[in-house]
Structure 1
Amino acid sequence: MSEAQHLLVVDDDNRIRDLLKKYLISNGYRVSAAANAATARKLITTFDFDLAIFDIMMPGETGLELLESLRQGGVRVPVLLLTARGETSDRIEGLKSGADDYLAKPFEPEELMLRVAAILRRTHVEPPPEEIEMSGLVFNAKRAELNDGEHHVRLTEAETHLLSMLAAKAGEPVSREELASKSPGSTERSIDVQVTRLRRKIEPDPKQPIHIQTVRGIGYRLMPD
Protein backbone atom coordinates (compact mmCIF):
# COMPACT_ATOMS: atom_id res chain seq x y z
CA MET A 1 0.00 0.00 0.00
CA SER A 2 1.44 3.39 -0.98
CA GLU A 3 2.15 5.98 1.70
CA ALA A 4 -0.50 8.67 2.17
CA GLN A 5 0.28 12.02 0.59
CA HIS A 6 1.48 14.59 3.12
CA LEU A 7 -0.34 17.94 3.26
CA LEU A 8 0.42 21.11 5.24
CA VAL A 9 -2.41 23.34 6.53
CA VAL A 10 -1.49 26.87 7.60
CA ASP A 11 -4.26 28.97 9.19
CA ASP A 12 -4.28 31.19 12.29
CA ASP A 13 -7.93 30.30 13.03
CA ASN A 14 -7.75 27.31 15.37
CA ARG A 15 -11.26 26.10 14.53
CA ILE A 16 -10.78 26.18 10.77
CA ARG A 17 -7.30 24.67 11.01
CA ASP A 18 -8.53 21.76 13.13
CA LEU A 19 -11.57 21.18 10.93
CA LEU A 20 -9.42 21.14 7.79
CA LYS A 21 -6.95 18.75 9.38
CA LYS A 22 -9.66 16.32 10.53
CA TYR A 23 -11.46 16.44 7.18
CA LEU A 24 -8.31 15.85 5.15
CA ILE A 25 -7.20 12.99 7.41
CA SER A 26 -10.65 11.39 7.08
CA ASN A 27 -10.12 11.46 3.31
CA GLY A 28 -6.88 9.53 3.50
CA TYR A 29 -4.25 12.26 3.67
CA ARG A 30 -1.43 12.65 6.16
CA VAL A 31 -1.66 16.20 7.57
CA SER A 32 0.59 18.61 9.49
CA ALA A 33 -0.71 21.98 10.67
CA ALA A 34 0.72 25.39 11.56
CA ALA A 35 -0.86 28.50 13.05
CA ASN A 36 1.54 30.97 11.42
CA ALA A 37 4.13 31.41 8.70
CA ALA A 38 7.11 30.95 11.03
CA THR A 39 5.94 27.49 12.13
CA ALA A 40 5.11 26.61 8.54
CA ARG A 41 8.67 27.45 7.45
CA LYS A 42 10.12 25.07 10.06
CA LEU A 43 7.82 22.28 8.93
CA ILE A 44 8.64 22.86 5.25
CA THR A 45 12.38 22.60 5.95
CA THR A 46 11.78 19.39 7.94
CA PHE A 47 9.30 17.48 5.76
CA ASP A 48 8.62 16.95 2.07
CA PHE A 49 5.02 18.00 1.49
CA ASP A 50 2.94 17.00 -1.51
CA LEU A 51 0.71 20.09 -1.11
CA ALA A 52 0.35 23.11 1.20
CA ILE A 53 -2.85 25.03 2.00
CA PHE A 54 -2.21 28.63 3.09
CA ASP A 55 -4.71 31.06 4.54
CA ILE A 56 -3.84 34.50 3.13
CA MET A 57 -5.16 36.75 5.91
CA MET A 58 -2.87 35.82 8.80
CA PRO A 59 -1.41 38.31 11.30
CA GLY A 60 2.25 39.10 10.79
CA GLU A 61 3.49 37.41 7.64
CA THR A 62 0.51 36.67 5.40
CA GLY A 63 0.03 33.50 3.44
CA LEU A 64 0.71 35.43 0.24
CA GLU A 65 4.00 36.79 1.61
CA LEU A 66 4.96 33.30 2.76
CA LEU A 67 4.22 31.93 -0.70
CA GLU A 68 6.25 34.66 -2.45
CA SER A 69 9.20 34.05 -0.11
CA LEU A 70 9.13 30.29 -0.66
CA ARG A 71 8.98 30.65 -4.44
CA GLN A 72 11.88 33.12 -4.40
CA GLY A 73 13.83 30.58 -2.35
CA GLY A 74 13.16 27.84 -4.89
CA VAL A 75 10.61 25.86 -2.84
CA ARG A 76 8.25 24.31 -5.38
CA VAL A 77 5.67 22.61 -3.14
CA PRO A 78 2.20 23.09 -4.72
CA VAL A 79 0.11 25.67 -2.85
CA LEU A 80 -3.64 26.20 -2.57
CA LEU A 81 -4.57 29.63 -1.15
CA LEU A 82 -7.57 30.12 1.15
CA THR A 83 -8.98 33.51 2.00
CA ALA A 84 -12.15 35.43 2.74
CA ARG A 85 -11.08 37.91 0.09
CA GLY A 86 -12.78 36.83 -3.12
CA GLU A 87 -12.02 39.73 -5.42
CA THR A 88 -10.63 38.93 -8.87
CA SER A 89 -7.57 41.12 -8.24
CA ASP A 90 -6.70 39.09 -5.13
CA ARG A 91 -6.99 35.81 -7.02
CA ILE A 92 -4.75 37.16 -9.77
CA GLU A 93 -2.20 38.37 -7.21
CA GLY A 94 -2.08 34.94 -5.59
CA LEU A 95 -1.69 33.10 -8.88
CA LYS A 96 1.02 35.50 -10.04
CA SER A 97 2.91 34.79 -6.83
CA GLY A 98 3.06 31.10 -7.66
CA ALA A 99 -0.12 29.61 -6.20
CA ASP A 100 -1.49 26.53 -7.96
CA ASP A 101 -5.11 27.33 -7.09
CA TYR A 102 -7.26 29.69 -5.05
CA LEU A 103 -10.40 29.06 -2.98
CA ALA A 104 -12.43 31.81 -1.31
CA LYS A 105 -14.06 31.35 2.10
CA PRO A 106 -16.65 30.19 2.89
CA PHE A 107 -16.29 27.03 0.82
CA GLU A 108 -17.78 23.56 0.71
CA PRO A 109 -15.41 20.85 2.02
CA GLU A 110 -16.18 18.75 -1.05
CA GLU A 111 -14.97 21.55 -3.34
CA LEU A 112 -11.76 21.81 -1.33
CA MET A 113 -11.19 18.08 -1.72
CA LEU A 114 -11.78 18.25 -5.47
CA ARG A 115 -9.31 21.12 -5.84
CA VAL A 116 -6.71 19.36 -3.68
CA ALA A 117 -7.07 16.16 -5.72
CA ALA A 118 -6.81 18.11 -9.00
CA ILE A 119 -3.59 19.86 -7.92
CA LEU A 120 -2.06 16.57 -6.78
CA ARG A 121 -2.91 14.93 -10.10
CA ARG A 122 -1.25 17.78 -12.01
CA THR A 123 1.86 18.02 -9.89
CA HIS A 124 2.56 14.50 -8.62
CA VAL A 125 4.34 12.34 -11.17
CA GLU A 126 5.16 8.76 -10.26
CA PRO A 127 8.70 7.78 -11.27
CA PRO A 128 8.67 5.13 -13.99
CA PRO A 129 9.45 1.59 -12.83
CA GLU A 130 13.10 0.61 -13.18
CA GLU A 131 12.18 -2.71 -14.79
CA ILE A 132 9.30 -3.69 -17.07
CA GLU A 133 8.34 -7.30 -17.80
CA MET A 134 6.91 -8.37 -21.16
CA SER A 135 6.13 -12.05 -21.75
CA GLY A 136 9.24 -13.29 -19.98
CA LEU A 137 11.49 -10.45 -21.16
CA VAL A 138 12.73 -7.81 -18.73
CA PHE A 139 13.66 -4.29 -19.85
CA ASN A 140 15.78 -2.23 -17.48
CA ALA A 141 15.60 1.39 -18.65
CA LYS A 142 18.35 2.57 -16.31
CA ARG A 143 20.83 0.07 -17.72
CA ALA A 144 19.25 0.18 -21.20
CA GLU A 145 19.13 -3.62 -21.28
CA LEU A 146 16.57 -6.12 -22.53
CA ASN A 147 17.06 -9.60 -21.15
CA ASP A 148 15.44 -12.97 -21.71
CA GLY A 149 16.36 -14.77 -18.51
CA GLU A 150 20.15 -14.80 -18.47
CA HIS A 151 20.37 -14.01 -22.18
CA HIS A 152 20.81 -10.46 -23.41
CA VAL A 153 18.58 -9.37 -26.31
CA ARG A 154 20.49 -7.05 -28.59
CA LEU A 155 18.83 -3.69 -29.34
CA THR A 156 20.11 -0.92 -31.56
CA GLU A 157 20.66 2.49 -29.99
CA ALA A 158 17.50 3.79 -31.70
CA GLU A 159 15.43 0.84 -30.47
CA THR A 160 16.72 1.25 -26.93
CA HIS A 161 15.89 4.95 -26.96
CA LEU A 162 12.40 4.30 -28.31
CA LEU A 163 11.67 1.52 -25.81
CA SER A 164 12.90 3.75 -22.97
CA MET A 165 10.53 6.55 -23.98
CA LEU A 166 7.58 4.17 -24.15
CA ALA A 167 8.55 2.56 -20.83
CA ALA A 168 8.67 5.98 -19.12
CA LYS A 169 4.97 6.34 -19.89
CA ALA A 170 3.94 2.71 -19.65
CA GLY A 171 0.22 2.27 -20.15
CA GLU A 172 -0.19 5.71 -21.74
CA PRO A 173 -0.38 6.58 -25.44
CA VAL A 174 2.66 8.43 -26.79
CA SER A 175 2.30 10.25 -30.08
CA ARG A 176 4.49 9.53 -33.09
CA GLU A 177 5.29 13.23 -33.17
CA GLU A 178 6.64 13.20 -29.63
CA LEU A 179 8.63 10.02 -30.19
CA ALA A 180 10.18 11.44 -33.39
CA SER A 181 10.94 14.85 -31.86
CA LYS A 182 12.84 13.26 -28.95
CA SER A 183 14.76 10.81 -31.14
CA PRO A 184 17.67 12.47 -32.97
CA GLY A 185 17.43 12.07 -36.73
CA SER A 186 14.08 10.28 -36.57
CA THR A 187 10.86 10.91 -38.44
CA GLU A 188 7.38 9.57 -37.73
CA ARG A 189 7.91 7.04 -40.51
CA SER A 190 11.22 5.84 -39.05
CA ILE A 191 9.50 5.44 -35.67
CA ASP A 192 7.02 3.07 -37.32
CA VAL A 193 9.92 1.05 -38.73
CA GLN A 194 11.65 0.86 -35.33
CA VAL A 195 8.41 -0.26 -33.68
CA THR A 196 8.10 -3.07 -36.23
CA ARG A 197 11.64 -4.20 -35.44
CA LEU A 198 11.06 -4.01 -31.69
CA ARG A 199 7.93 -6.11 -31.98
CA ARG A 200 9.95 -8.86 -33.65
CA LYS A 201 12.22 -8.96 -30.62
CA ILE A 202 9.58 -8.55 -27.90
CA GLU A 203 6.18 -9.82 -28.99
CA PRO A 204 5.19 -13.50 -28.79
CA ASP A 205 3.38 -12.85 -32.09
CA PRO A 206 4.64 -9.67 -33.82
CA LYS A 207 1.58 -9.66 -36.11
CA GLN A 208 -0.71 -9.45 -33.08
CA PRO A 209 1.22 -7.25 -30.63
CA ILE A 210 0.14 -7.21 -27.00
CA HIS A 211 2.96 -5.11 -25.53
CA ILE A 212 3.72 -2.38 -28.09
CA GLN A 213 0.19 -1.48 -29.09
CA THR A 214 -0.86 0.88 -31.86
CA VAL A 215 -3.17 3.68 -30.69
CA ARG A 216 -5.07 4.82 -33.76
CA GLY A 217 -4.61 8.45 -34.69
CA ILE A 218 -2.03 8.98 -31.93
CA GLY A 219 0.94 6.63 -31.83
CA TYR A 220 1.94 3.76 -29.57
CA ARG A 221 1.47 2.49 -26.02
CA LEU A 222 3.68 0.07 -24.10
CA MET A 223 1.70 -2.42 -22.01
CA PRO A 224 3.80 -4.49 -19.59
CA ASP A 225 2.59 -7.81 -18.12
Structure 2
Amino acid sequence: MSDLSAAHLLIVDDDERIRELLKRYLMKQGFMVTAARDAAQARRLLTGLAFDLIVLDVMMPGEDGVALTHWLRGEIGTPVILLTARGEARDRIAGFEAGADDYLSKPFEPRELVLRINAILRRAPKAAPASLAPQVLMLGRMRYEVDSGDLRDGTEPVRLTQTEAALMRVLAGRQGEVVSREALVEYLGRDRGHMAAELSQERAIDVQITRLRRKIEPDPRRPRFLQTVRGEGYLLTPG
Protein backbone atom coordinates (compact mmCIF):
# COMPACT_ATOMS: atom_id res chain seq x y z
CA MET A 1 0.00 0.00 0.00
CA SER A 2 1.33 3.44 -0.90
CA ASP A 3 1.36 6.41 1.43
CA LEU A 4 -1.18 8.06 -0.85
CA SER A 5 -3.66 5.19 -0.55
CA ALA A 6 -3.40 5.41 3.24
CA ALA A 7 -4.88 8.94 3.13
CA HIS A 8 -8.07 9.78 5.02
CA LEU A 9 -10.82 11.08 2.73
CA LEU A 10 -14.11 12.80 3.55
CA ILE A 11 -16.96 12.14 1.09
CA VAL A 12 -19.89 14.57 1.26
CA ASP A 13 -22.95 13.72 -0.85
CA ASP A 14 -26.67 13.76 -0.07
CA ASP A 15 -27.32 10.84 -2.45
CA GLU A 16 -26.97 7.75 -0.25
CA ARG A 17 -26.42 5.39 -3.20
CA ILE A 18 -23.58 7.45 -4.65
CA ARG A 19 -22.11 8.05 -1.18
CA GLU A 20 -22.01 4.35 -0.37
CA LEU A 21 -20.68 3.36 -3.80
CA LEU A 22 -17.86 5.90 -3.55
CA LYS A 23 -17.04 4.90 0.01
CA ARG A 24 -16.82 1.19 -0.84
CA TYR A 25 -14.81 1.78 -4.00
CA LEU A 26 -12.31 4.12 -2.36
CA MET A 27 -11.92 1.80 0.63
CA LYS A 28 -11.05 -1.00 -1.80
CA GLN A 29 -8.33 1.26 -3.20
CA GLY A 30 -6.82 1.40 0.30
CA PHE A 31 -8.08 4.80 1.43
CA MET A 32 -9.60 5.41 4.84
CA VAL A 33 -13.01 6.96 4.13
CA THR A 34 -15.48 8.91 6.25
CA ALA A 35 -18.81 9.93 4.72
CA ALA A 36 -21.23 12.78 5.45
CA ARG A 37 -24.75 13.19 4.11
CA ASP A 38 -24.72 17.01 4.01
CA ALA A 39 -22.71 20.11 4.81
CA ALA A 40 -23.92 20.23 8.43
CA GLN A 41 -22.64 16.73 9.18
CA ALA A 42 -19.40 17.49 7.34
CA ARG A 43 -18.84 20.56 9.54
CA ARG A 44 -19.32 18.45 12.69
CA LEU A 45 -16.81 15.87 11.49
CA LEU A 46 -14.31 18.56 10.52
CA THR A 47 -14.34 20.03 14.03
CA GLY A 48 -12.90 16.81 15.41
CA LEU A 49 -10.99 15.10 12.61
CA ALA A 50 -8.31 15.97 10.07
CA PHE A 51 -8.65 14.80 6.47
CA ASP A 52 -6.16 14.64 3.62
CA LEU A 53 -8.75 15.44 0.93
CA ILE A 54 -12.49 16.19 0.66
CA VAL A 55 -14.70 14.94 -2.19
CA LEU A 56 -17.72 17.23 -2.15
CA ASP A 57 -20.99 17.19 -4.08
CA VAL A 58 -22.13 20.63 -5.25
CA MET A 59 -25.89 20.09 -5.42
CA MET A 60 -27.04 19.42 -1.86
CA PRO A 61 -30.08 20.65 0.08
CA GLY A 62 -29.32 23.46 2.49
CA GLU A 63 -25.73 24.60 2.22
CA ASP A 64 -24.37 23.56 -1.17
CA GLY A 65 -20.87 22.38 -2.02
CA VAL A 66 -19.63 25.71 -3.34
CA ALA A 67 -20.68 27.52 -0.16
CA LEU A 68 -19.08 24.82 2.01
CA THR A 69 -15.87 25.05 -0.03
CA HIS A 70 -15.79 28.81 0.52
CA TRP A 71 -16.17 28.26 4.30
CA LEU A 72 -13.46 25.59 4.26
CA ARG A 73 -11.00 27.94 2.64
CA GLY A 74 -11.38 30.31 5.57
CA GLU A 75 -10.59 27.49 8.02
CA ILE A 76 -8.26 24.87 6.54
CA GLY A 77 -6.16 24.15 3.46
CA THR A 78 -7.43 20.60 2.87
CA PRO A 79 -7.74 19.93 -0.90
CA VAL A 80 -11.28 19.77 -2.30
CA ILE A 81 -12.63 17.97 -5.37
CA LEU A 82 -16.13 19.08 -6.36
CA LEU A 83 -18.62 16.65 -7.91
CA THR A 84 -21.66 17.84 -9.83
CA ALA A 85 -24.11 16.93 -12.57
CA ARG A 86 -23.64 20.44 -13.92
CA GLY A 87 -21.04 20.83 -16.61
CA GLU A 88 -21.41 24.50 -17.57
CA ALA A 89 -18.32 26.69 -17.48
CA ARG A 90 -19.93 29.15 -15.04
CA ASP A 91 -20.43 26.39 -12.48
CA ARG A 92 -16.84 25.21 -12.78
CA ILE A 93 -15.64 28.80 -12.42
CA ALA A 94 -17.80 29.31 -9.30
CA GLY A 95 -16.26 26.18 -7.77
CA PHE A 96 -12.69 27.24 -8.52
CA GLU A 97 -13.35 30.77 -7.28
CA ALA A 98 -14.58 29.29 -4.00
CA GLY A 99 -11.24 27.48 -3.65
CA ALA A 100 -11.78 24.01 -5.11
CA ASP A 101 -8.68 22.16 -6.33
CA ASP A 102 -10.44 20.11 -8.99
CA TYR A 103 -13.86 19.55 -10.53
CA LEU A 104 -15.43 16.35 -11.85
CA SER A 105 -18.77 16.20 -13.67
CA LYS A 106 -21.21 13.35 -13.07
CA PRO A 107 -21.41 10.70 -14.32
CA PHE A 108 -17.74 9.81 -14.03
CA GLU A 109 -15.56 6.72 -13.87
CA PRO A 110 -14.50 5.97 -10.27
CA ARG A 111 -11.01 5.22 -11.54
CA GLU A 112 -10.74 8.78 -12.86
CA LEU A 113 -11.65 10.10 -9.42
CA VAL A 114 -8.88 7.99 -7.86
CA LEU A 115 -6.35 9.32 -10.37
CA ARG A 116 -7.36 12.90 -9.60
CA ILE A 117 -7.21 12.26 -5.84
CA ASN A 118 -3.72 10.80 -6.12
CA ALA A 119 -2.54 13.63 -8.36
CA ILE A 120 -3.66 16.22 -5.79
CA LEU A 121 -2.24 14.31 -2.82
CA ARG A 122 1.17 14.05 -4.50
CA ARG A 123 1.51 17.80 -4.76
CA ALA A 124 -0.37 18.89 -1.63
CA PRO A 125 1.28 19.01 1.81
CA LYS A 126 -0.69 17.34 4.55
CA ALA A 127 -3.11 19.98 5.78
CA ALA A 128 -3.38 20.82 9.46
CA PRO A 129 -6.50 22.40 10.96
CA ALA A 130 -6.13 26.12 11.54
CA SER A 131 -8.95 27.34 13.75
CA LEU A 132 -10.75 24.05 14.18
CA ALA A 133 -10.86 22.12 17.45
CA PRO A 134 -8.00 19.82 18.56
CA GLN A 135 -8.08 16.20 17.48
CA VAL A 136 -9.58 14.92 20.73
CA LEU A 137 -12.69 12.87 21.41
CA MET A 138 -14.32 13.05 24.82
CA LEU A 139 -16.17 9.93 25.96
CA GLY A 140 -17.47 11.08 29.32
CA ARG A 141 -14.39 11.06 31.57
CA MET A 142 -12.37 9.33 28.88
CA ARG A 143 -10.15 11.40 26.59
CA TYR A 144 -9.01 9.92 23.27
CA GLU A 145 -6.24 11.58 21.23
CA VAL A 146 -7.07 10.81 17.60
CA ASP A 147 -3.57 11.35 16.21
CA SER A 148 -1.59 9.50 18.87
CA GLY A 149 -4.21 6.91 19.85
CA ASP A 150 -3.65 7.83 23.51
CA LEU A 151 -6.62 7.00 25.77
CA ARG A 152 -6.92 8.38 29.30
CA ASP A 153 -9.39 8.11 32.14
CA GLY A 154 -8.97 11.59 33.52
CA THR A 155 -5.19 11.79 33.83
CA GLU A 156 -4.63 8.03 34.08
CA PRO A 157 -3.52 6.24 30.88
CA VAL A 158 -5.67 3.33 29.72
CA ARG A 159 -3.83 0.54 27.98
CA LEU A 160 -5.35 -0.79 24.77
CA THR A 161 -4.37 -3.99 23.01
CA GLN A 162 -3.29 -3.71 19.38
CA THR A 163 -6.73 -4.85 18.24
CA GLU A 164 -8.56 -2.45 20.55
CA ALA A 165 -6.33 0.43 19.43
CA ALA A 166 -7.04 -0.37 15.77
CA LEU A 167 -10.79 -0.51 16.48
CA MET A 168 -10.68 2.87 18.19
CA ARG A 169 -8.75 4.40 15.30
CA VAL A 170 -11.30 3.17 12.76
CA LEU A 171 -14.39 4.11 14.79
CA ALA A 172 -12.96 7.52 15.72
CA GLY A 173 -12.27 8.17 12.05
CA ARG A 174 -15.94 7.57 11.32
CA GLN A 175 -17.49 8.99 14.49
CA GLY A 176 -21.24 9.47 14.30
CA GLU A 177 -21.44 6.95 11.44
CA VAL A 178 -22.49 3.31 11.58
CA VAL A 179 -19.60 0.99 10.66
CA SER A 180 -20.58 -2.53 9.64
CA ARG A 181 -18.90 -5.64 11.02
CA GLU A 182 -17.79 -6.45 7.48
CA ALA A 183 -16.09 -3.06 7.16
CA LEU A 184 -14.37 -3.49 10.52
CA VAL A 185 -13.04 -6.90 9.48
CA GLU A 186 -11.70 -5.32 6.27
CA TYR A 187 -10.18 -2.32 8.04
CA LEU A 188 -8.50 -4.33 10.78
CA GLY A 189 -7.23 -6.99 8.41
CA ARG A 190 -5.65 -4.30 6.25
CA ASP A 191 -4.35 -2.26 9.18
CA ARG A 192 -2.90 -5.26 11.02
CA GLY A 193 -2.09 -7.85 8.41
CA HIS A 194 -0.89 -10.39 10.95
CA MET A 195 -4.28 -10.21 12.66
CA ALA A 196 -6.32 -10.84 9.51
CA ALA A 197 -6.83 -14.54 10.22
CA GLU A 198 -7.77 -13.90 13.83
CA LEU A 199 -10.36 -11.33 12.80
CA SER A 200 -11.64 -13.10 9.70
CA GLN A 201 -14.91 -13.91 11.42
CA GLU A 202 -17.35 -11.10 12.14
CA ARG A 203 -18.17 -12.75 15.47
CA ALA A 204 -14.60 -11.97 16.57
CA ILE A 205 -15.38 -8.29 16.07
CA ASP A 206 -18.26 -8.54 18.56
CA VAL A 207 -15.88 -10.00 21.15
CA GLN A 208 -13.37 -7.20 20.62
CA ILE A 209 -16.12 -4.56 20.86
CA THR A 210 -17.22 -6.05 24.18
CA ARG A 211 -13.64 -5.83 25.50
CA LEU A 212 -13.26 -2.25 24.27
CA ARG A 213 -16.51 -1.24 25.98
CA ARG A 214 -15.13 -2.44 29.30
CA LYS A 215 -12.44 0.21 28.97
CA ILE A 216 -14.40 3.20 27.65
CA GLU A 217 -17.95 2.79 28.98
CA PRO A 218 -19.13 3.70 32.51
CA ASP A 219 -21.55 0.75 32.25
CA PRO A 220 -20.50 -1.69 29.48
CA ARG A 221 -23.88 -3.44 29.70
CA ARG A 222 -25.61 -0.18 28.77
CA PRO A 223 -23.19 1.39 26.28
CA ARG A 224 -23.51 5.12 25.82
CA PHE A 225 -20.61 5.90 23.49
CA LEU A 226 -20.00 2.68 21.53
CA GLN A 227 -23.46 1.63 20.46
CA THR A 228 -24.79 -1.38 18.56
CA VAL A 229 -27.08 -0.59 15.63
CA ARG A 230 -29.05 -3.79 15.16
CA GLY A 231 -28.52 -5.40 11.78
CA GLU A 232 -26.05 -2.70 10.68
CA GLY A 233 -22.95 -2.52 12.89
CA TYR A 234 -21.42 -0.20 15.48
CA LEU A 235 -21.55 3.54 16.09
CA LEU A 236 -19.10 5.68 18.11
CA THR A 237 -20.78 8.79 19.48
CA PRO A 238 -18.54 11.07 21.60
CA GLY A 239 -20.13 13.18 24.28
Q: Normalising by structure 2, report the TM-score.
A: 0.50
Match of 1:107 in 2: 108
Larger Rg over CA atoms:
1
Residue 119 of structure 1, CA deviation: 0.8
41, 44, 47: which is aligned to 2:43?
41
* Partner SS for 2:23: helix
Structure 1 counterpart of 2:57? 55
Residues 60-106 of structure 1: CA distance to partner in whole angstroms, max 9, x if unpaired? Answer: 0001111111212x211110000000111111110111000000000
**Alignment partner, residue 231 of structure 2:** none
CA positional deviation for 1:46: 0.9
Aligned to 2:182: none
Partner of 1:31: 33
1:76 aligned counterpart, secondary structure:
coil
- Secondary structure at the aligned position of 1:8 is classed as strand
Instruction: Give the secondary-structure state (helix, strand or coil) at the position aligned to 2:6.
Output: coil
**What residue is the counterpart of 2:69 in the other structure?**
67
Runs of 4+ in structure 1 displaced over 4 angstroms?
none
**How many residues are treated as equivalent by the alignment?**
125
Aligned-residue identity in percent:
58
Q: Which residue of structure 2 lines up, in the alignment, with residue 16 of structure 1? A: 18
Ranked by relative contact order (alpha carbons within 8 Å, sequence separation 6 or more), the top structure is: 2
Deviation per CA, 1:12-50: give whole Å up to 9, x if none.
000000000000000000000000001000111111100
TM-score calculated relative to the size of structure 1 = 0.53
Deviations 1:97-149 (A, max 9, x none): 100000000001111111011111110369xxxxxxxxxxxxxxxxxxxxxxx
- CA RMSD after TM alignment: 1.8
Distance 2:86 2:12 in 1: 16
Cα pair distance change 1:53/1:125, threshold 3 Å: closer
The separation in 2 between residues aligned to 1:103 and 1:111, in whole angstroms, is 9
Structure 1 gaps, min length 5: 127-225
